[in-house]
Structure 1
């Protein structure tokens, strides 16, 4: 049974309007009356978390299932050359639509925004299972990404509404465990479904979990809108959507990521007209986006006054750099064991198991520390240093590295980065006003997903550039170019080469991966530098304290704006 502090009506806002306690000068007073907060019973909270986290689990499960099915799908349609776009279309769509859900959750409500995300995700997933062609399947993955981009964001915002910040990190850690569980079993489940029933059933299998999440969210997630939005007519609510800003932001991010994707996937040179044209397009739309947000949009999708503040900017950069390094490592470490150590694919993937366990434990540990101490700054720096140490150790791998190092050096990376992702999210929420929480959460997920795609794309482009140069130095002769092309496109070829050519291929991969690993360490160093600028904010232990802090943050924000 849901209840509220005091005796508000059913139409009362989740938290009192940020303008309810403004004085005549337009600024809030710290001694304003205690705010109204929204509460739920323990049983309702369990149901809400089950609905939200089952969607998070499904999003992670879907990602690794699809990664497993790319080759079978390409073979089924006889279009293996287009198979990589199955993943690319989804990730591009996620990156473009993730920031929109923060504002949508303020307009449609947490339930409305989550149901929209689940509907789009479900529509795309069902369409994938029924797709008659590769082109339709790629388009369906893009539709699924439109919804997938909002699932994590809205789930995080909704939990923030219900859980005080001092405990919020622990709940984020549990959500990350669900995400890790989905990502961990997605590969085996996808492979089993493909071998037993066919790849289409791997998509259709997700429908029961999707239906459960949809029903529970529609039934239990009844967090009310703010009074300011609730009383507005539909036309006024629609006007609060920054359509022009959203379109220009999507074009900016999409053009940038497509340029990086074409460079790495299609092996196009940086000077290629398509790559250059997309970079120029991204810059042009980026300038237009900033102009729209600064001078035209009354409700910007990414308020510039917000992104220029110290802690939000530091959190955004740390999430961007950290995600680039983390996903580059996830994709390139197995490649190291396959090409340099010549391990089997199963053994190469197994080396990521300690890293995966560390991700789950690192997030929960960070939440536990914040709950016990109410502090996060020192933990954030130590976690970033752990990730930096791990990437430095990986960059030092060579033929003489012991097995102990090869198995354990990744653990501080997973543990530290999971902790950083958790603490920086809480640091960001703790320093903004209530009206900015949803937009701020969406922004962090935007920088994370953008970092993930850039990390994979740019590391792939760098790897191929260095690899090609090293192979051409070591392999020469009449059929050299054809052999180099085969080595670059299929690592299985290395085992079939004669000893001298095999050594040349292994050494070339080792040199190329060494450069990539050094860049990962550099990115983690930038993550650490970004974390230095994060400000320590109190972590409220109750919802009442949390609302009071939101109001104080709003007062400071108003003063900054008026002083400017």
Structure 2
């Protein structure tokens, strides 16, 4: 860091009329960047490394005014209020639908699989949506920069609705295909919707709207299982998918008639080019390599240790193939592609890299606790599904407050760094408290247990998104949004997969140790261990003299995942320390 600072001081001394915040301010984009690029052409002036340095555009304490006034004609926004609220409401609905469809089948899996005679392949009904959703998110940023946000959003509404229609079938194959297509549309609705809001709303106010969007996404995730169960019980499971089609159409129509961005907006896409010229600009090779890498990686992470063994040829082939495709992607983006789908050089920006890693590690940790705290309640505390569910409700309230509160704080202060530090401390303390969970934990603490980490995580999601966008030129805001969603989706999958491996490994070891100490008959002990590994409910069916040993084993397995979550949250907190404070502008033009 001292070396970078020395370089900047030298440039300032030699060229005092070219201040770093003018040449390198990523929010200025126009004259500032052009001046920087011209200077970079002369090696004696400013190097390309300095052009992407993390220090550009950062602000120091006291630089921001206490109050601010936004510009005309629409109060700093890109659209009149009526159109703005219609578009934003539609994007909130799109976010809700995408999240709902990811969880809507959770209560229906066994029912659908039984009706289609496909119990052995039950996991693919849920996995197909999650895989396509995560794998295609990274490419939407650059593609929407070329073709425009409106066209891509309408296309994703079409894919989402089409996928839901395909799911109205009696064939497992077509159901999985439908879920895959729906996942592509759903991922675009969330990621491009976030990009579109950045086209519409000044950065100073952007966090508040993102907080509201996070609430709708959370509502969709939380209500998916409930809504799916109610509709399936009253109308049949096929209507769970069919009823989403008209909602997708409504969102698409609202966007078509109201998302009319002003001239010069990056959300309009490329100007003065026909469809073939635009297609030539798409980095198809890089996209294929990236999607292939993510598909293999996420499939291996999702199925490893469950449907396929970690030592199997299938797992090794998928992980090895994922690494090769990712290496090919990086090579393509650096040396071949003229317009990379994700500019690798963006990760040379300190704030972009730190924000991405923060998002990645936090998502790993929080999703691990969301999965395994309920497992603890069920297997160790012997709680019912409804009792388990009620203990998760306060967490949603905390997440909602954190999302909106973070946005309101940034709107009022124009800052986010101190908020990130505070949210990080809260998250680390919250997960540490989770590691102390035991059978004697009071009931009232069980209800409040997930609030600190959930609140801190929701703050961090909003902060990292704003930090990424503010740290880069306006023309890269869609690509940085794609980076945010890529790190989040891979973080959740990888975190839960690693936690699952830890859980099963510790559980197996503890069951072998504890059960074998009680049951002297090796065959009987092996049968008890096998059944305990297969189902958490077996603890209530096992012989009474061995139930305590099984519960202790499950507690040890859950504790292993909690310690893993604490480690990843701490790494996320450390990563957040390397972010820089950048200016949150009060108008779309970043004036």
TM-score, scaled relative to structure 2 = 0.85
Q: Which residue does 2:332 correspond to in 1?
A: 292
Determine the C-alpha separation between the residues in 1 that align with 2:274 and 2:101.
37
Which digits, 9 at most, give the CA deviation of each residue in 1:319-375, with x for residues without a partner? 111111111111111111000100001111221111111111100000011011111
- 1:35 is displaced (CA, Å) by 13
2:542 is the counterpart of 1:497: yes
1:330-341 equivalences in 2 (<5 Å): 330-341=370-381
Which digits, 9 at most, give the CA deviation of each residue in 1:39-81, with x for residues without a partner? 3111111111122111111112222212222121122112222
**Per the alignment, in what secondary structure is the counterpart of residue 264 of structure 1?**
coil
2:185 is the counterpart of 1:173: no
- 1:21 is displaced (CA, Å) by 8.4
Determine the C-alpha separation between the residues in 2 that align with 1:439 and 1:176.
20
**How much is the aligned-residue C-alpha RMSD, in angstroms?**
2.3
Q: Structure 1 residues 331, 239: closer, same or farther in 2, change over 3 A?
A: same
1:291-310 equivalences in 2 (<5 Å): 291-310=331-350
2:547 is the counterpart of 1:513: no
Q: 1:81 aligns with which of 111, 120, 129?
A: 120
Q: Which residue does 1:529 correspond to in 2?
A: 574
Aligned pairs, how many?
526
Q: Structure 1 residues 18, 489: closer, same or farther in 2, change over 3 A?
A: farther
Kept after mapping to 2: 8 A contact 1:362/1:418 = yes
Q: Structure 1 residues 59, 25: closer, same or farther in 2, change over 3 A?
A: closer
**Per the alignment, in what secondary structure is the counterpart of residue 305 of structure 2?**
helix
Q: Which residue does 2:46 correspond to in 1?
A: none
Alignment gaps of 5+ in structure 2: 1-26, 41-55, 57-70, 517-521
Q: Structure 1 residues 472, 90: closer, same or farther in 2, change over 3 A?
A: same
**Per the alignment, in what secondary structure is the counterpart of residue 584 of structure 2?**
coil
Determine the C-alpha separation between the residues in 2 that align with 1:73 and 1:137.
10
Determine the C-alpha separation between the residues in 1 that align with 2:492 and 2:131.
11
Q: Which residue does 1:189 correspond to in 2?
A: 227
1:48-59 equivalences in 2 (<5 Å): 48-59=87-98
Q: 2:38 aligns with which of 17, 26, 30?
A: 26
Which digits, 9 at most, give the CA deviation of each residue in 1:103-140, with x for residues without a partner? 12111111011112111111111111x22222221121
Q: Which residue does 1:68 correspond to in 2?
A: 107
Q: 2:281 aligns with which of 233, 240, 248?
A: 240
Determine the C-alpha separation between the residues in 2 that align with 1:282 and 1:525.
28
Q: 1:220 aligns with which of 258, 271, 274?
A: 258
- 1:20 is displaced (CA, Å) by 11
**Per the alignment, in what secondary structure is the counterpart of residue 98 of structure 1?**
helix
- 1:244 is displaced (CA, Å) by 0.8
Which digits, 9 at most, give the CA deviation of each residue in 1:199-233, with x for residues without a partner? 11111121222121011011111226658821123
Kept after mapping to 2: 8 A contact 1:264/1:458 = no
Determine the C-alpha separation between the residues in 2 that align with 1:405 and 1:101.
42
Q: Which residue does 1:435 correspond to in 2?
A: 475
Q: Structure 1 residues 307, 259: closer, same or farther in 2, change over 3 A?
A: same
**Per the alignment, in what secondary structure is the counterpart of residue 39 of structure 1?**
coil
Q: Which residue does 1:552 correspond to in 2?
A: none
2:442 is the counterpart of 1:397: no
Which digits, 9 at most, give the CA deviation of each residue in 1:6-37, with x for residues without a partner? xxxxxxxxx99858984597369x9xxx9999
1:20-419 equivalences in 2 (<5 Å): 22=34, 26=38, 39-128=78-167, 130-223=168-261, 226=266, 229-266=270-307, 268-419=308-459
Q: Structure 1 residues 428, 394: closer, same or farther in 2, change over 3 A?
A: same
**Per the alignment, in what secondary structure is the counterpart of residue 270 of structure 2?**
helix
Larger displacement relative to structure 2 (170-179 or 254-263): 254-263
Kept after mapping to 1: 8 A contact 2:100/2:220 = yes
TM-score, scaled relative to structure 1 = 0.89
Which digits, 9 at most, give the CA deviation of each residue in 1:420-471, with x for residues without a partner? 0001100111111111000110110111111111122222222112212211
**Per the alignment, in what secondary structure is the counterpart of residue 302 of structure 1?**
coil
Determine the C-alpha separation between the residues in 1 that align with 2:457 and 2:333.
31
Q: Structure 1 residues 372, 17: closer, same or farther in 2, change over 3 A?
A: closer
Alignment gaps of 5+ in structure 1: 1-14, 549-564
- 1:483 is displaced (CA, Å) by 2.8
Larger displacement relative to structure 2 (470-479 or 367-376): 470-479
- 1:182 is displaced (CA, Å) by 2.0
Determine the C-alpha separation between the residues in 2 that align with 1:484 and 1:24.
66
Larger displacement relative to structure 2 (80-89 or 367-376): 80-89
Q: Which residue does 1:560 correspond to in 2?
A: none
**Per the alignment, in what secondary structure is the counterpart of residue 492 of structure 1?**
helix
Determine the C-alpha separation between the residues in 1 that align with 2:526 and 2:279.
57
Kept after mapping to 2: 8 A contact 1:17/1:228 = no
Kept after mapping to 2: 8 A contact 1:117/1:148 = yes
Runs of 4+ in 1 over 4 A off after TM superposition: 15-21, 34-38, 224-228
Q: Structure 1 residues 228, 221: closer, same or farther in 2, change over 3 A?
A: closer
Q: Structure 1 residues 295, 505: closer, same or farther in 2, change over 3 A?
A: same
